[in-house]
Structure 1
Amino acid sequence: MRVSRLNHRVTIQRYAEYEDDHGISREGWVDLKTVWCSMNNLYGKEYWEAKQYSAENTIEFVIRYNACKDLSVNGYRLKQGNRLFNITSIDNVQYNNEMLKIKAIEVIA
């Protein structure tokens, strides 16, 4: 993949315990890091498979492997602008440790 296609910014968030401004322990979504990515709508067979699960707005993100190699489906989500995405799958493309292909469903509030 060409690096020039990584032309969007996305923030990786983790659900964790943190201390607020008053020193009180709370749980919630915490920004982990902001990385460059490409964003694509699903099409063809992948689109119809997602549609079976009522995943109306499924987006495929591609980031560099080293940007967040500990990323997991559980306890992580993506934020792009004001949009939030729950991660449904993560693929280490051809196990080359170069790119992560992330499928995520947009959270509609």
Structure 2
Amino acid sequence: MNPGKLKYRVAFRTQAGTDPVTRLPTEGGETVYTCWSAMEAVSGKEYFAAAAVQAENTVKFTIRYKKDLESSLDLFLLGNEKERKFNIDSILPDYDNKRYMRVMCKEVI
């Protein structure tokens, strides 16, 4: 992959939970990792398989390899506009080269 395609800034954050004392929802989670990524819409066979389940915006992010990421985190697309939140479905590492990872997400609308 061309590293010049990694032009979108993303942040991996822990999910917002509830405060144990007040039992109110917390505003947001803690940022675990921030990096540059490539973003592309899922197309073809992947798109129709995702659309058969529900009508959601499924997006594939490609990032540099990082071994400590978990699918329990949320992904936020950072930029000039407001942040867009994505729920991570799966993280697919490249075990051969350990250069890049694919993060399959669904946008929270």
TM-score calculated relative to the size of structure 1 = 0.79
TM alignment of 1:50-89, pairs within 5 A: 50-65=50-65, 68-74=66-72, 76-81=73-78, 82-89=83-90
Structure holding more strand per residue: 1
Structure holding more helix per residue: 1
Counterpart-to-counterpart distance in 2, 1:93 and 1:53? 27
Percent identical among aligned pairs is: 37
Deviation at 1:94, TM superposition (A): 4.9
Q: In the alignment, which residue of structure 2 is the partner of 1:12? A: 12
1:91 aligned onto 2:88: no
Question: Can you list the C-alpha shifts for 1:22-67, whole angstroms capped at 9, x where unaligned?
Answer: xxxx9651111210000000100010111122152011000000xx
1:10–1:36 contact (8 Å) kept in structure 2:
yes
**Unaligned stretches of 5+ residues in structure 1:** 18-25
1:62–1:102 contact (8 Å) kept in structure 2:
yes
Q: In the alignment, which residue of structure 1 is the partner of 2:3? A: 3
Q: In the alignment, which residue of structure 2 is the partner of 1:49? A: 49
Deviation at 1:72, TM superposition (A): 1.2
Counterpart-to-counterpart distance in 1, 2:74 and 2:96? 22
* Number of aligned residue pairs: 97
Letter in 2 for 1:96: N
TM-score calculated relative to the size of structure 2 = 0.79
